[in-house]
Amino acid sequence: MWPFVRKRPSGFSSSSTAEEVTQGIDGTGLTAIITGASSGIGIETAQVLALRGVHVVMAVRNVSSGNAVKEAIVKEIPTARIDVMELDLSSMVSVRKFASEFDALDLPLNILINNAGVLATPFSLSQDGWELQFGTNHIGHFLLTNLLLEKMKSTSRKSGIEGRIIIVSSEGHRLTYWDGIRFNKINYGAEYQRYLAYGQSKLANILHANELARRLKEEGTNVTANSLHPGLIMTSLFRHQNSIINAAFGAVAKLATKTVQQGAATTCYVAMNPEVKGVTGKFFKDSNVCTPSSQALDHELAKKLWDFSMNIIQA
């Protein structure tokens, strides 16, 4: 971890863990969906929310892996309430199927954590024909959020408890194509650059959260939407990187990276901590509000992306 750690306004820092930022918080009666909950910080997020009494729905691509994680969590926390459901964010058919099956469970929905993602993959297309990182990291989550939004609004009205939508982005949003979102060239493989494409998808995550927050606030709905950077954590997200990059990264890893427990902290903080009540349309890092890039704060770009994404999911 970084050798010099400074406490921030929230009282937490880059070294804070998910358990620390949720200490003393009772989530009994709450239900949360976490995408990508069978690996990396998704596992820790699921475990800590379950520890605090939240009924966790693990939305995972590999159900057998999800069940193994569930068994491990229940072994450690016998009172944990966890369901495992299949979700492949690269397929809108799968996203719609998940939303329909969740609705059939007749559960409330207080917290939606859009955590899953892919990083710097070789150029390929999602099952719906979109560049894989944009299709998985943004479009899949955009559709999922859209399908679950009425359930969240209904839950907040009936319970009187604020609903929270958390979209896991990255500081990588700062490294994107010069125009931010290449609306006319998203699937253009000839100019594809994997890290810029990743940055584009993470910029889309923040723009999505900001525009969603604006719309929810305008409606007077008791549901918030925020985005965040979890920190640099060596997880399976790096599986597409070559050995030279990983070797170079490993040389400074002990100083630069977070543990999984620290990496899940900001997600758990934004999802559960009472300090965040009423806060919406913000970007968090190290369990504190921070300022994203100027492109991420571009309201017109956010609206354009919203309309573009709606056209995709309604096609």
Name residue 290's beta-bridge partners: 283
Pairing of strands 31-35, 55-60: parallel
What is the spatial distance between Cα 39 and Cα 62, in angstroms, rounded to a whole number? 10
Apex CA 23: angle with CA 19 and CA 28, to 5°? 100
Apex CA 278: angle with CA 276 and CA 283, to 5°? 55
Nearest to 14 by CA among 288, 291, 272: 288
Q: Is 258 helix (H, G, I), strand (E, B) or coil?
A: coil
Catalytic residue of the set 188, 192, 195, 198: 192
What is the spatial distance between Cα 192 and Cα 195, in angstroms, rounded to a whole number? 9
* Whether 192 is catalytic: yes
What is the spatial distance between Cα 185 and Cα 225, in angstroms, rounded to a whole number? 28
Nearest to 288 by CA among 303, 274, 270, 304: 270
The residues assigned a catalytic role are 192
